Structure 1
Amino acid sequence: MTVAANDTALAEETFAGHPKGLFNLFFTEMWERFSYYGMRAILVLYMVAAVSDGGLALTNKEAGQIYGLYTMAVYLSALAGGFIGDKVFGARRAVLLGGIIIAFGHFTIAFASTITLFIGMVLIVLGTGLLKPNMATIVGALYKPGDMRRDAGFSIFYMGVNVGAMFAPLVCGYLAQGEEFKAWLSSVGISPHVSWHFGFAAAGIGMVIGLIVFVTQARLLGTAGLKTKAAPAAVVETSTTAEFLSRDEWRRLGAIAVLFVFNILFWAIYEQGGSSLNIFASKCVDNTIFGWSFPSTWLQTFQAGFIVLFAPVISMVWLKLGDKQPTAPTKFAIGIVLLGLGISLMVPASMLAAQGKVSPLWLIGVFLFECLGELCLSPVGLSTVTKLAPARFASLTMGAWYLSISIGNYTAGSLSGLFDEKNPSGMTTLFGSMAVSALVATVLMALLVPMVKKLMGNIK
């Protein structure tokens, strides 16, 4: 890929105060996340569904373990993908190749068999590892060092993630669970038991649309993400990483390490949305409106919908505050306490579930608090890593950041394996423990704010 001088100038043009290239990445990421969250919305439900309903009839524990391993691998692969983007392909080529592999993965799962499910999951893991860290690297490359628009830009980018995640459960969930769609399949001679696989196919189509956007609008990116960053020859031959990182760079990596730990906890609780809360919605929530039953996966739309609603608000708040806005570690503490308040609502909801199906408003409330917390933590984490990471290891460091999300996702799957919708007291204990853990972590993060600020130096 080559870029002419006029393309570079085009990349410097702005729209709504941000580089135009940001909006290419916004829509590309939107469709990639549509594919990911479309599959996420139905994966666990497909695995625990009875064979007579087209599912795999796995236990909650088995499905939780597979879900945790899969989502862990998705983000763990970002570590290698970041290195490949830095040193081999360049970030932009890595994104393109990753998207192609992801699409093939979803289309593989669209064929109804256990083997194709696991082959498809492996392909999605590999593709996402290439795409995720390098997308964030390209976003960071659109802004010059010290540009105060960076956090706001990542918030806008993050809103794209959640626009895709908002519509994915509606489309993929309806195709997988919708009674009307199943009836239509029967009317044309297709077994309604394969409806799950129409949902998986829709996820693949979303990724293809994202690739089309990325390629056709590439000129808006200028040179961002095209070049690989080869290490100096002398370093390759004689030095270790420790020897060619400066003292300030090590201190900044130390700040990332502290945030890394708290990021694990956040995602371990947040990702219950795709596992235990997903099963809770299917088994314990009254999903009827005026006699019409909607797919339980539709409730996951609120998880992303609130972010779409509030992301512009949070972005404007950070821009308005400018230099007076809270520091990154303070934003992390705010995000974790909001997460804790959200999951704490599942304690009374679990108690009420012992008496019968509960109102969907309980889950909607959980998603509201969790998503406000996510907006204070996740885009800020991405932005902070791009600011603190050594320039020659930008994608590699971003890949390491996704490792924390990977560990959090694996922990989420392990925790969800303890969920049993037939044991209300066990549900209460499980969700109560998560809430207490989040509140304790908030206090610890608040106490560590001065130390993290010192490690960050003059980076804000």
Structure 2
Amino acid sequence: MTSTVATPHPRGLATLFFTEMWERFSYYGMRAILVLAMVAAVDAEHPGLGLSREMASAAYGLYTTAVYLASLPGGWIADRLIGMRNAVFVGGCIIATGHFTMAFPSTPTFFIGLTLIALGTGLLKPNISAMVGELYPEGGARRDAGFSIFYMGINVGAFAGKLLCGYLGEHYGWHIGFGAAGIFMIAGLVQYRLNSRHLGTIGLLPASTGDAQRDAHARRRGAFAVAAAIALIALVMIAALGGYLPIDPIRVSKQTAVVIVATAALYFGYVLIFGGLDRSERQRVGVIVVLFIGAAVFFSGFEQAGSSLNLFALDHTDRDIGGWQLPASWLQAVNPLFIIILSPFFAALWVNLARRNLTPSVPLKFALGLIQMSLGFLVMFFAARLAASGDKVAPAWLMLTYLFHTTGELCLSPVGLAAVTKLAPRRYVGQMMGTWFMAASLGHIIAGLLAGHLASTDDIAGLPDRYWLVFVTTSGAGLLMLLIARPLQRLMGNIQ
């Protein structure tokens, strides 16, 4: 009789787990107070930028969008120029520099720091996830379990970052909170360097064609392109901060949304018409288009947490606990806490349904995610009615909203990218993965524009109607996805 022992996870997983945990600590810790710092008056106890809520929300949406879009060149730089290992370290250094730049209380350093964090995150985020996959060349359930552990690190970091940076920012000054985010990013980089030996040779070198001369030539061209892009970004920043290039975040957000939609439409149209696809492949790409739209709608609502819902917590939520004021940013920590608590239950649910051959299809999971997210805005409709009457509402309203948003996220987000990789024609997999990031980017841009209306203080009486409109729109998208889930599944064939 033989006994089997579960194969342990690679030691490199711990290295990447803690690197990502501290990076997410810094990223979400800073995001928790970002809009609050932008709308705070310049003569307040903790001086802010004094931006209007519409401007601040649009700037927030642009920033989060830039993070997603930067992931595309970030992966390319690692593949072609410096390797994933170096990309993660360099990206982390840029992120830490950005946080420390924001720790200086001035408008120029604020926006320079934001730019650096977006660029650094785009370099680090896709490559550290790719290295987790490289730890499990055999694939299978063990690889899935490794990603589940890694995903838990993301949420532990997000939860702790929102609590600590939120508290420091709201009680001691926004620049203190931003500086704390940088300190913990440094902690993540130190442990990454000290424990990188556990990664073996993973990510050490960029991809190679096998032709040294051709590779060297390609790297020289790539390095020149990166240098030119950095110079262009620097020039734009100098011109904007010097007043030579006025930038209206709201107008730029609208233009960016148009560009993303046009780019996606042209790309999908080209692939469908000129991509040399057979009938089955065209059908599956059509499903990806529908999922693209669904993901954009979902993230446009889900990403209200850091903007309009954060400002609702600031303005309309009773945060007094025995004479102590609960930081408004702390309520955002509910989402990662719920994910930590609920993820094992959802994982068990999908496994049990699979055993009974009742696994929901990808379109059905998208529909469930959209509907649950919309229910969060139905909760906010009732909360806004109380706020419009002049009363401050209990934190439980926002917590219930975040609960619906979290369960919606657990239905939709984990399956989205995996579904795209399965549905995409083999020769277009990498490009189709990019469309998922574009969908998230579009959702973030729309979220920023939408938040400006939801967080406006000009018409408090109209706030319930605005939340009701969001509920009707997002629930309508969810119900439509529910109605077409079965036809979409037929187009997907045997892909689950």
| TM-score class, shorter | 0.7 to 0.9
User: Is 1:274 aligned to 2:274, yes or no?
Assistant: no
User: Is 1:383 aligned to 2:374, yes or no?
Assistant: no
- SS of 1:272's equivalent in the other structure is coil
User: Deviation digits for residues 146-202 of structure 1, max 9, x if unmatched?
Assistant: 724555554443322221111112111111112xxx4xxxxxxxxxxxx11010011
Q: Please name the residue that 1:308 is paired with.
A: 340
Q: Please name the residue that 1:133 is paired with.
A: 126
Cα 1:401–1:45 shift into 2, 3 Å? same
Q: Please name the residue that 1:449 is paired with.
A: 485
Q: Please name the residue that 2:319 is paired with.
A: 287
User: Is 1:406 aligned to 2:397, yes or no?
Assistant: no
Counterpart CA distance in 2 for 1:250 and 1:161 is 35
Cα 1:68–1:300 shift into 2, 3 Å? same
Counterpart CA distance in 2 for 1:452 and 1:135 is 33
What does residue range 307-456 of structure 1 map to in structure 2 within 5 Å? Answer: 307-322=339-354, 324=357, 325-354=359-388, 355-388=390-423, 397-418=432-453, 419-421=455-457, 423-454=459-490, 456=492
User: Is 1:201 aligned to 2:233, yes or no?
Assistant: no
Shift of 1:380: 2.0
Letter in structure 1 aligned against 2:314: S
TM-score when normalising by structure 1: 0.83
Cα 1:393–1:208 shift into 2, 3 Å? farther
- SS of 1:345's equivalent in the other structure is helix
Structure 1 stretch 288-297 or stretch 248-257: which is displaced more? Answer: 248-257
Cα 1:101–1:456 shift into 2, 3 Å? farther
Letter in structure 1 aligned against 2:300: A
User: Is 1:298 aligned to 2:330, yes or no?
Assistant: yes
Q: Please name the residue that 1:163 is paired with.
A: 156
Letter in structure 1 aligned against 2:80: K
Q: Please name the residue that 1:185 is paired with.
A: none
Alpha-carbon contact 1:152-1:319 (below 8 Å) kept: no
- Higher relative CO (Cα under 8 Å, sequence separation at least 6) belongs to 1
Q: Name structure 2 gaps, 5 residues minimum.
A: 1-5, 219-269
Q: Please name the residue that 2:31 is paired with.
A: 40
Letter in structure 2 aligned against 1:446: L
User: Is 1:177 aligned to 2:170, yes or no?
Assistant: yes
Letter in structure 1 aligned against 2:50: A
Equivalent residue for 1:259, pick from 280, 286, 291:
291
Number of residue pairs matched? Answer: 427
- SS of 1:274's equivalent in the other structure is coil
Letter in structure 2 aligned against 1:160: G
Counterpart CA distance in 2 for 1:317 and 1:224 is 34
Letter in structure 2 aligned against 1:213: Q
Counterpart CA distance in 2 for 1:104 and 1:393 is 36
Counterpart CA distance in 2 for 1:387 and 1:157 is 22
Alpha-carbon contact 1:306-1:371 (below 8 Å) kept: yes
Shift of 1:75: 1.0
Q: Name structure 1 gaps, 5 residues minimum.
A: 1-12, 183-194
Counterpart CA distance in 2 for 1:74 and 1:197 is 21
Cα 1:151–1:374 shift into 2, 3 Å? farther
User: Deviation digits for residues 129-156 of structure 1, max 9, x if unmatched?
Assistant: 1122223333344445772455555444
Q: Please name the residue that 2:254 is paired with.
A: none
Counterpart CA distance in 1 for 2:378 and 2:414 is 24
Identity of aligned residues (%): 50
Counterpart CA distance in 2 for 1:367 and 1:35 is 21
User: Is 1:25 aligned to 2:35, yes or no?
Assistant: no
TM-score when normalising by structure 2: 0.77
Counterpart CA distance in 2 for 1:293 and 1:93 is 43
Counterpart CA distance in 2 for 1:221 and 1:210 is 15
- SS of 1:51's equivalent in the other structure is coil
Q: Please name the residue that 1:215 is paired with.
A: 193
Alpha-carbon contact 1:151-1:379 (below 8 Å) kept: no
Structure 1 stretch 52-61 or stretch 221-230: which is displaced more? Answer: 221-230
What does residue range 18-97 of structure 1 map to in structure 2 within 5 Å? Answer: 21-53=12-44, 54-97=47-90
User: Deviation digits for residues 367-395 of structure 1, max 9, x if unmatched?
Assistant: 11111111121122233345556778766
The alignment yields a C-alpha RMSD, in angstroms, of: 3.1
Shift of 1:216: 3.4
- SS of 2:105's equivalent in the other structure is coil
- SS of 2:305's equivalent in the other structure is helix
Counterpart CA distance in 2 for 1:206 and 1:384 is 34
Shift of 1:74: 1.2
Counterpart CA distance in 2 for 1:400 and 1:359 is 39
Cα 1:139–1:106 shift into 2, 3 Å? same
Shift of 1:306: 0.8
Shift of 1:453: 3.6
Counterpart CA distance in 2 for 1:395 and 1:101 is 26
Letter in structure 2 aligned against 1:334: L
Shift of 1:251: 5.9
Shift of 1:303: 1.8
Letter in structure 1 aligned against 2:76: F
Counterpart CA distance in 1 for 2:400 and 2:351 is 27
Q: Please name the residue that 1:5 is paired with.
A: none
Counterpart CA distance in 2 for 1:443 and 1:431 is 18
Letter in structure 1 aligned against 2:444: N
Counterpart CA distance in 2 for 1:92 and 1:449 is 40
Shift of 1:340: 1.0
Counterpart CA distance in 1 for 2:282 and 2:196 is 35
Alpha-carbon contact 1:154-1:383 (below 8 Å) kept: no
Cα 1:459–1:123 shift into 2, 3 Å? same
Cα 1:384–1:297 shift into 2, 3 Å? same
Counterpart CA distance in 1 for 2:129 and 2:418 is 9
Alpha-carbon contact 1:80-1:396 (below 8 Å) kept: no
Alpha-carbon contact 1:79-1:403 (below 8 Å) kept: no
Counterpart CA distance in 1 for 2:311 and 2:58 is 14
Counterpart CA distance in 1 for 2:88 and 2:431 is 14
Counterpart CA distance in 2 for 1:451 and 1:141 is 36
